[in-house]
């Protein structure tokens, strides 16, 4: 999720919610900041991260499956939105694996969404 918090403050929130493991990415100015939290050590493998995404593999031991999860924050500046979409294209490395992308693409389709 987009936090708009420093990574240290987000870590405190994540731990208060009893997610002992996580990835907290620092905000840039008053924008962004991402956090992904989970319980257990063997559930998540980090693929990559940046100020606008977390990319992980989720290990579902119950069903003996691995799936791909990306949390994503698209650039709110329309001039750089293509860069955000290019990042998602690069992250889709194996279309045969279930891939869940969640977050905010900052794609505004109507003026009332501002």
Per-residue pLDDT tens over the stretch 57-70: 999 888 889 999 99
pTM for the model: 0.78
DSSP output for 5-71: S-HHHHHHHHHHTT--EEEEEEEETTEEEEEEEESSSSSEEEEEEETTEEEEEEEETTTTEEEEEEE
Tell me the CA distances in angstroms from 34 to 19, 71, 88, one per residue in order. Answer: 15, 8, 16
What are the residue boundaries of the structural domains of the chain, listed by start? 7-113
Give the pLDDT of residue 93: 84
Q: Cβ of 50: how many Cβ atoms within 10 Å?
A: 11
How far is Cα 21 from Cα 1, in angstroms, rounded to an integer? 15
Instruction: Give residue 50's pLDDT band: very low, low, confident or very high (50, 70, 90).
Output: confident
């Amino acid at each position: 999720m987009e936090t708009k918090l420093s990574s240290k403050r987000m870590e405190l929130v994540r731990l208060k919610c009893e997610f002992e493991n996580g990835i907290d990415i620092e905000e840039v100015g008053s924008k962004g900041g991402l956090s992904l939290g989970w319980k257990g050590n063997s559930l998540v493998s980090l693929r990559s991260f940046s100020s606008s995404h977390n990319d992980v593999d989720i290990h579902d031991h119950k069903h003996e499956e691995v799936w791909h999860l990306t949390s994503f924050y698209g650039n709110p500046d329309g001039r750089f939105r293509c860069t955000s979409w290019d990042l998602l294209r690069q992250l889709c490395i194996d279309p045969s694996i279930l891939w869940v992308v969640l977050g905010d693409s900052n794609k505004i389709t109507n003026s009332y969404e501002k």
